[in-house]
Structure 1
Amino acid sequence: MYVAFDQLPPEARVWIYQGSRQLTGPEVVGVLPRLARFAEEWTSHGRTLHASAEFLHQQFLVIGLDEGPAGASGCSIDASVRFVAQLERQLGVELLEKSQLAFLHGGTVELLKRSELPAAVANGTIKPETFYFDNTLGTKGELDTKWPRPAGETWLARYFGQAEKNRLLA
């Protein structure tokens, strides 16, 4: 059953898929009916799921599920991943690939390869206060309050400690 994304409760489970590029406005508008249809038809062991899906920042596909009425099963999660793979082909964008990190600079989402992170921290391009889209969040409440948030408050904090140690040794 489709639920408007903003009507999902804070404890609703979310899956965040980061696009390899920002989608255009027409691309997002064009895919909205497919997102609604997926949420409407998504089931788990024959039980209707209360779900939603939308693109945020024209870069992130977020699927939300209110597990109060019914929770996701392995099969239903597999079905959602197949749906995301279909969207990738339709839009010509990678959504399942996880090697890039997304930061917010001047209101724009910028991607950085994970392997480039230590150098970006060392040269000051990425700082603890740089807003980071932590796509490992698990609930709608976290999405609403901690996404994006300063990189130094996420799992990336360890990189800043090492950069500081390197500066002191130099």
Structure 2
Amino acid sequence: MFIPFEKMPDYARVWVYQTDKNLSDTEFIYVLETLEAQVNQWAAHGVPLVGSVKILHNRFIVVAVDEAQNQASGCSIDASTRWLKELSAEMNINFFDRSIVFIHQDALQSVEMLKIKSLVAEGIIHPDTLIFNNLVANIGEFKNNWQVSAAQSWMKRYFQPITA
């Protein structure tokens, strides 16, 4: 059963998927409508799940489930991943992009993990640069820790002074 994302409780489990490009308006609408329909039919062992989906920055798809209503099973979680795999094949968009996305000059930028150190050295990524932490586990964490400064993330090691 689909409910609006804003009505999901903070303890609701989330999965954040990241595209390899910004969705166009047409793609955004198609993805949102397709996933809302899928969430509306989502079930675990035949019992409906209470879930939601939201697209942010035309780049991130957040799928949520309220497990206090009914626990998501391995099969139901696999089903949600399959929705994105099918959309990926249909639309030729990678919904499983693993690059690091950050905000630079008021725009989303992405970079491969191996290039982070050089961007820090160049001053493009600095301690206050906002990055997106797609490993959040629930809506509470999503609200509080999805967008964090680089210095408050795993990237903090790049800003530590070198001691002899």
- For structure 2, the residue ranges without an aligned partner over 5 or more in a row are none
Partner Cα separation in structure 2 for residue 140 and residue 4 of structure 1: 13
Using the size of structure 2 for normalisation, the TM-score is 0.94
The aligned residue for residue 160 of structure 1 is 159
Partner Cα separation in structure 1 for residue 144 and residue 138 of structure 2: 10
Partner Cα separation in structure 2 for residue 52 and residue 150 of structure 1: 27
**1:3-152 counterparts in 2 under 5 A?**
3-98=3-98, 100-152=99-151
Q: What is the Cα deviation at residue 8 of structure 1?
A: 0.5
SS in 2 for 1:156: helix
Which one-letter code corresponds to 1:65 in the other structure?
V
| CA deviations over 1:5-50 (Å, ceiling 9, x no partner) | 1110111111001110000112111222211111111111111110
Q: What is the Cα deviation at residue 90 of structure 1?
A: 2.6
Partner Cα separation in structure 1 for residue 23 and residue 97 of structure 2: 16
Partner Cα separation in structure 2 for residue 122 and residue 106 of structure 1: 17
| Contact 1:35 1:54 (C-alpha < 8 Å) held by counterparts | no
SS in 2 for 1:70: coil
| CA deviations over 1:106-156 (Å, ceiling 9, x no partner) | 332110110101111122111111000000111111212222110111122
Identity %: 33
- For structure 1, the residue ranges without an aligned partner over 5 or more in a row are none
Partner Cα separation in structure 1 for residue 36 and residue 101 of structure 2: 26
Partner Cα separation in structure 1 for residue 129 and residue 91 of structure 2: 29
- The CA RMSD over aligned residues, in Å, is 1.4
Partner Cα separation in structure 2 for residue 60 and residue 91 of structure 1: 16
Partner Cα separation in structure 2 for residue 120 and residue 105 of structure 1: 11
| Contact 1:133 1:149 (C-alpha < 8 Å) held by counterparts | yes
- Aligned structure 1 segments of 4 or more residues deviating by more than 2 angstroms: none
